Amino acid sequence: MTALRIVQLYPVLLGVTGDRGNVDVLAQRARRAGLDVTIDSVSPGDDLPDADIIVLGNGPLSALRSVVDDLRDREPALRAHLERGGVILAIGGGAELLGSRIGVLDGDDLDGIGLLPYRVDRSRDRRVGYIVAEAPEGRIVGFEDHASVYRLADGAGPYAQVTAGKGGVPYADGRAGEGVRVRNAFALNVQGPLLPLNAWFADLLLAEAASAAGLSYERSGELDLVDGYADGARAAIEERATKHFTAIDL
């Protein structure tokens, strides 16, 4: 039987916000659905194995600078992966690298790899606290902690509309948005990490990846317990994010 192949890029340098949790959730949900799963870690200089899902995590600017050349060399492979219907999940700093440029406040700007249609500018104000945002397929709940504003290229729009919290991807009319989706590439600032708190989102990624790989994914009922806990976490976060002053402000 063919396995669902998950690859995490730069887990040592880009993985400061529980990013391995996203990988683990994808793997566990896929296995419970009866799929075989492989997980590979790729560091700078390593070969990129064939993948169905590629996860790129969060890290500081120095880490972005140290991996960007390696990532740029992989741009054709990542583009081909997307064209095959493959999934990319990129969070925080890793997501910023996939755009055209990262404008920084001090020091030299950093050229991204230009895979996705945005540039990101680091901002003085930090956006920290719980976030809730409505995406076409469901409600995203999590924690944001970033100082970045995405500028989308013409024709591109945010993935989700923010209903509590700040978000980093504003709509053209100024409304708060969060995330970018292009094909099956998803770029977001949402931590927590994202996938344990948003089981529907994990299932969306798995269904897309499985379908592109000629497999099928169906959520297993064995996940009822953990998803029930996640529902409790979502309810607590939504309650706090919308009814209380969000935790941190500049």
Alpha carbon 249 to its chain centroid, in Å, reads 23
Q: How far apart are CA 124 and CA 104, in angstroms?
A: 10
Task: Report if residue 48 touches other proteins, rule: CB under 8 A.
Answer: no
User: How far, in Å, are 11, 33, 47, 58, 175 from residue 62 at the CA level?
Assistant: 15, 39, 23, 12, 31
Nearer to other proteins, 212 or 223 (CB): 223
Give the residue, chosen from 147, 156, 182, 207, that forms a contact with other proteins under the rule CB under 8 A: 147
* Cβ contact 137:120 at 8 Å: no
Contact track, other proteins, 153-192, x by CB under 8 A: --------------------------------------xx
Residues 2-21 that bind other proteins (CB under 8 A): 12-13, 15-21
Give dist(CA 97, CA 90) in Å, integer.
9
DSSP 230: H
Q: How far is Cα 213 from Cα 225, in angstroms, rounded to an integer?
A: 28
Task: Please identify, among the stretches 34-42, 70-78, 172-180, 193-201, the one whose residues bind other proteins according to the rule CB under 8 A.
Answer: 193-201
Of 91 and 213, the one with the shorter C-beta distance to other proteins is 91
Helix (H, G, I), strand (E, B) or coil at 105: coil
- Residues forming contacts to other proteins in the complex (CB under 8 A) are 12-13, 15-22, 24-25, 28, 59-63, 65-66, 105-106, 124, 126, 128-129, 143, 145, 147, 191-193, 196-197, 225-226, 229-233, 235-237, 240, 244-245, 247-250
